[in-house]
Amino acid sequence: MMIRNAFLATITMAVSSLAYSTTWVSDQAHSTAHFKVRHMMITNVSGDFTGVDAKIDLNAADITKSKVEASLDAKSIDTNNGKRDEHLRSPEFFDVQKFPLIKFTSKTVAKSGKDQLKVIGDLTIHGITKSVTLDVVGPTAAFKDPWGNMKRGLSATTKINRKDFGLTWNKALEAGGVVVGDEVKIELELELQEPKA
C-alpha cells in the first residue's frame, strides 16, 4: 500500500508540474543577439545576429525546472561592415558553410535574485561545445499584445573567450597587442510569444 501511495504521489506531482509548464518561442522580428569585442586594443566593435530561434519550456510552479533551447543563424552576423562580415563568415572565423548554427541548451536554472536567474548550459560555436552561464533578467509576466498574442520578455548576458571555441584568428600590432581581443561580451534580448493552438 505504501509503495502504491508513493507511486501515485509521484505521478500526481509530475502531472501537476506539466500543468504549470507552458512553451514560449522567440518572436524573431523582435529578438536579437548582440556582441562586443575589443578591436586594436583601443575601442570596441559590436554586432548582431538576427534569426534568434528560441524555445522555452517555462514551469510557472517551479522556475528552476524550466528548459531553454536556442539557436542563431551564423550567416546573419552583421557588424555594419560588409567586408568584415564576410571575413567573419569565412573559415578563419565562424566558417558558416561548415557550422551554420550557434546553439545553446540549458542544463540548470537557478534563482539569483528578484526576477533574476542564472541559466547554465552548453553553448556550441564553430563545432565546439563549452559550458556557459547566462545572467537572465525576467521572464516578465505574460500580457496580451494588440493582436491577441500572449507575450513575455527577457534579457540575458554572458562573457566568453572566443579562443575556447576555436575562433583563434588574429594579427599582432607593431606597437604591441593584437587586432582582436579574446573576451566577447554577449547580450540577448528575447521577445517571447505563446504559440496559438
C-alpha neighbours within 13 Å on the C-beta side of residue 51: 13
Say if CB 137 and CB 116 are below 8 A apart.
yes
User: Tell me: the pLDDT tens digits for 134-165?
Assistant: 999 999 999 999 989 999 999 999 999 999 99
Whether the predicted pLDDT of 169 surpasses 50: yes
Preceding omega of 146 cis (within 30 degrees of 0):
no
The DSSP annotation for 125-154 comes to ETTEEEEEEEEEE-PPPPEE-TTS-EEEEE
Residue that is written with C-alpha cell 551554420 in the block:
100
pLDDT number for residue 10: 45
Domains of the chain, first to last? 22-193 (2.40.128.110)
pTM for the whole structure: 0.85
All three cell numbers of 169, joined, read: 584568428
Whether the predicted pLDDT of 49 surpasses 60: yes
